[in-house]
Chains A and B, each alone.
Chain A
Amino acid sequence: MIELQNVCRTFIVGDQKVEALRDINLSFGAGEYISIMGPSGSGKSTMLNMLGLLDRPNLGTYLLDSGNVTDLNDEQLARVRREKIGFVFQSFHLVPRLTAAQNVELPMILAGIPVEERRARVQVLMQNYGLSDRADHRPDQLSGGQRQRVAIARATVMNPTVLLADEPTGNLDQATGWEVLKLLEGLLAQGITLVLVTHDAEIGARAHRQIHMLDGRILSDERQTP
């Protein structure tokens, strides 16, 4: 499903060369639950940006759904992001001026999906995530958990292949955090590949496959059978 082959990514910070990813080889299957852990600066964020096609490798190849997405142009990349990748962020990243429903609708607006279909899909998702009575609220009128649920609804509304979550519980209290986590884990049944970036070992331990990173390298890649 997802395959990184010899991926390298270096940044120039000032006059220093920072190697964020060094010769990464990875492959994820459909429906896999992966957590990526490591201290800050270990390259896990770069890894996530790379997987989300927000960043490009300096070297190496990225295959997504058996297509090579390494050398796509901006328009093609945008299309792949739109159709195959969902993002969930620590700080939710909801558009403050739009209602919850409009935020969920946003990826479909960018994709040019007709209004009727958009409405229908938003309604189903809002209902599934228990947000029906919050559809017309703006983000600042929602609790943290509700905001993250709206964000998850937005990330899944295009039925992506892979969902990338960057510390999705980082800004939530523990109870709400577990709730959100369960919601994300529920998506696995639909065949979504869930990639969770966290530095919380307890949360990371829930994943079926745990990857530890350090200095741009994969330190360990362990699978556990639940």
Chain B
Amino acid sequence: MYLRDLVTLTSSSFLTYRMRSFLTGLGIAIGIAAVILLTSIGEGLHQFVLQEFSQFGTNIISVQPGKTQTQGGNVGIFGSSRPITLEDADALRRLPYVEYVIPGLVGNAEVRYQGRTRRTMVLGEGRDFSKAFTMKVQSGSFWTDADDEQARAQAVIGSKIQLELFGDVNPLGQYLRVGGQRYRVVGVMESKGQILGMDMDDAVFIPAARAMELLNRPGLMEVNVSYRADVDAEVVIRHIKNRMIERHGREDFTIISQEEALEVLGSVLSILTFAVGALGAISLLVGAVGILTIMTMAVTERTAEIGLLRALGARQQQVLVLFLGEAMMLSALGGVLGLLIGIGIAQGLHLLVPALPVHTPWIFAALAELTAVTIGLAAGVVPAMHAAKLDPVEALHAE
């Protein structure tokens, strides 16, 4: 029997029972649509979050003080870690493959300009901040003092600070009070908006050494190291680790590479997408029951026809294939319909709510269709086996 004939024979039964086949296919379609819709939103969210996390650039390694570990002795002796200092940052700057080293810490302080006061985020950073991270300075520039320790009191302000404190006044060259100290404004950042709840526009950037003093902190919260894009993160991490151990005598710091963090985050989000997809798959089960029902009915209705086919020389296997083929085709067509509905709704939602990220990778669509066909196959097996095993004589005389 040729595949073409199989298609002709099975489609003849769809054409005869149009409504019934359509409704059964619809059962699968709704399941597939739910899976596609949910995974599209999950995947869209996945990409959105990754994009949020990686918008500072991906080839950045962060070194933070302290290391979480369990020790045999008293935690008091070994538990304390040395702060990471600007000297440490300087030392990292001389490592191979390293492009920029940005010492960093963050805190809150009051900023004031001509009677207007605002409590805002103060970021102690290095002079290469805007080069290492993908954040642009709109006007002016970061301070250029080569010595981090001796950096003068200069500040770069976020666009919101400019708007709130300066209004129409050009802030460049103006003096701003940050926590009681006078800072000359040398640059204004381009608006970046919220990043994971942190409003980067409502921030003031000042040299790290001054921020440490201002916030009364003994060391840096982190040192961000950007490295050449063509180098493996592992290599840079090894260099950083060795140099830091050299300086601190032991590993009392934690190294986090953006790449690894994104990988972990990515896998977590993938699991999330998979989970919502599985949730949608529950409705596929209902569709499968629909196919099982309709195929069981079909075998009962066509018992005499099965007898005839056997009399005409059909093997048991051919009868099996005919009914399995019908179940699979029904679910495959339902699957295609479901893909169209699912992708359609996803895109429609995206048009209605542009903030909702939606993404349907073709591999998801292909997997969903494959699932539909597999479900048809699974649901069709029992009725098809029953059909194949019918006794030809009894089947022929069934009315």
Contact = CB atoms under 8 A, between A and B. Distances in A.
B311 A52 contact: yes
Contacts of B304: 93
Contact of A93 (B2, B5, B308, B393): B308
Contacts of B309: 106, 110
B254 to A, nearest CB: 69
A117 interface: no
Contact of B15 (A75, A79, A97): A97
A54 B314 contact: no
Contacts of B169: none
A78 B313 CA distance: 4
A154 interface: yes
B131 interface: no
B301 to A, nearest CB: 11
A173 interface: no
A110 B312 contact: yes
Contact of A75 (B1, B315, B392): B315
Contacts of B316: 74-75, 78
Contacts of A89: 396
B311 A110 contact: no
Given A97-B12, A97-B13, A109-B5, A49 B312 contact: no
Interface stretch (A80-88, A123-131, A183-191, A195-203): A80-88
A74 B312 contact: no
A78 B318 CA distance: 10
Contact of B313 (A49, A97, A107): A107
A9 to B, nearest CB: 11
B305 interface: yes
A214 to B, nearest CB: 21
A98 interface: yes
B12 A109 contact: no
A95 B308 contact: yes
A195 B297 CA distance: 35
A74 B310 CA distance: 10
Contacts of A112: 1-2
B16 interface: yes
Contacts of A83: 313
Contacts of A74: 315-316
Interface residues of B, number: 27
Contacts of A222: none
A55 interface: yes
A138 B307 CA distance: 20
Contacts of B12: 97-98, 102
Contact of A78 (B8, B305, B308, B314): B314
Interface of B is mostly: helix
A75 B314 CA distance: 9
Interface in A92-108: 93, 95-98, 102, 106-107
Nearest to A81: B313
A183 to B, nearest CB: 19
A111 interface: yes
A154 B312 contact: yes
B305 to A, nearest CB: 6
Contacts of B310: 54, 78, 81
B179 to A, nearest CB: 85
A110 B313 contact: yes
Given A109-B5, A112-B1, A55 B313 contact: no
A55 B312 contact: no
A93 B304 CA distance: 8
A170 to B, nearest CB: 14
Contact of A110 (B8, B318, B396): B318
B306 to A, nearest CB: 11
A54 B313 contact: no
A112 B15 CA distance: 24
A89 to B, nearest CB: 8
B8 to A, nearest CB: 8
Nearest to A48: B393
A162 to B, nearest CB: 13
Interface in A50-96: 52, 54-55, 74-75, 78-79, 81-83, 85, 87, 89, 93, 95-96
Contacts of A107: 312-313
27 contacts: A54-B393, A54-B396, A55-B393, A75-B316, A75-B317, A78-B310, A78-B316, A78-B318, A81-B311, A81-B312, A85-B313, A87-B311, A87-B312, A89-B396, A93-B308, A95-B305, A96-B16, A97-B12, A97-B16, A106-B309, A107-B312, A109-B1, A111-B313, A112-B1, A115-B2, A115-B4, A154-B312
Q: What 8 A-B pairs come out closest when comparing CB atoms? A: A82-B313, A78-B315, A97-B12, A81-B313, A54-B392, A109-B5, A93-B308, A107-B312
Interface of A: 49, 52, 54-55, 74-75, 78-79, 81-83, 85, 87, 89, 93, 95-98, 102, 106-107, 109-112, 115, 154, 158
Given A81-B313, A106-B309, A110-B309, 6 more contacts: A74-B316, A81-B310, A82-B313, A109-B9, A110-B313, A154-B312
